[in-house]
Amino acid sequence: MRKKAVLVVGAGGLGAPAIIALAASGRFTLGLADPERVELSNLARQIIYGTRQVGQFKVEAAARYARETLGFRDVRPMNIALNAANAPELVAQYDFVIDATDDPAVKFLINDVCLAMGRPFCYGGVLGFRGQAMTIVGGETACLRCLFEFPPDQDEVATCREAGIVGSVAGLVGFVQAKEALYCLRGLRPRLAGKLFAYDGAGRRAIRILPVQRREGCACASACSASEDVRAGA
Ligand SMILES: [Zn+2]
């Protein structure tokens, strides 16, 4: 039997803290997928990189950090962008996927491929002082398309990027995502399966956990109807 494995898609604001939390926590294979290189503007929130890593591929710098600073050996860096052609084969090699990308199209791709391949994953998002995370278990919980019916259009995405990301909020959400992966690897149910973790650093209630219902008519119902039939009969 192969070793358990976690795939982190995105080695930036969410991925960096997730990698630290994962690499400190046990024996499994850690896959990292990100096509970007480290930029100077990343350093304030992507704390596994320093000025010496500027210009290097993020996944290679992150893998070196995991090996040399954290002593975590079994890391697979892949400087690739996840797309519809490569995602199914890649996702099939992992037991849990962390969505640590800032690209909504890739988030929806992760959602669809993980549902199709029967892999749980944890969605994460940050904007300003707000952050969110939710774990999606196909056939059981709401999916990303239940939560957001369509990906936002490009103008909206650009506006979000201008609003910026507070490093410590990304740190919190990335850590929460790593914990979800670790629950799953240990055979436990992820705490945020079907529940939205919502952090608002500027709000009166900083942290809320909100159950998310499956949306009637969502594509996830048909993708996972077989496993539902089994449960209904049990
Ligand atoms: Zn759905």
Sign of the CA dihedral running 81, 83, 86, 87: positive
Q: How many whole angstroms from 215 Cα to the centroid of ligand 1?
A: 6
CATH topology of domain 5-233: Rossmann fold (3.40.50)
For residues 45 and 35, the answer to whether their CB atoms sit within 8 Å is: no
Q: How far apart are CA 170 and CA 13, in angstroms?
A: 6
Q: How many whole angstroms from 184 Cα to the centroid of ligand 1?
A: 20
Residues 108-163 have pLDDT tens digits of: 999 999 999 999 999 999 988 899 999 999 999 999 999 987 767 666 665 666 66
For residues 176 and 192, the answer to whether their CB atoms sit within 8 Å is: yes
Beta-carbon neighbours within 5 Å of ion ligand 1: 143, 145-146, 218, 220
Q: How far apart are CA 16 and CA 166, in angstroms?
A: 14
Q: How many whole angstroms from 140 Cα to the centroid of ligand 1?
A: 10
Q: How many whole angstroms from 90 Cα to the centroid of ligand 1?
A: 22
Q: How many whole angstroms from 43 Cα to the centroid of ligand 1?
A: 35
pLDDT for position 148: 87
Residue numbers in the chain where pLDDT is lower than 50: 225-234
Spell out the domain ranges in the chain: 5-233
Q: Does the pTM of the predicted model rise above 0.85?
A: yes
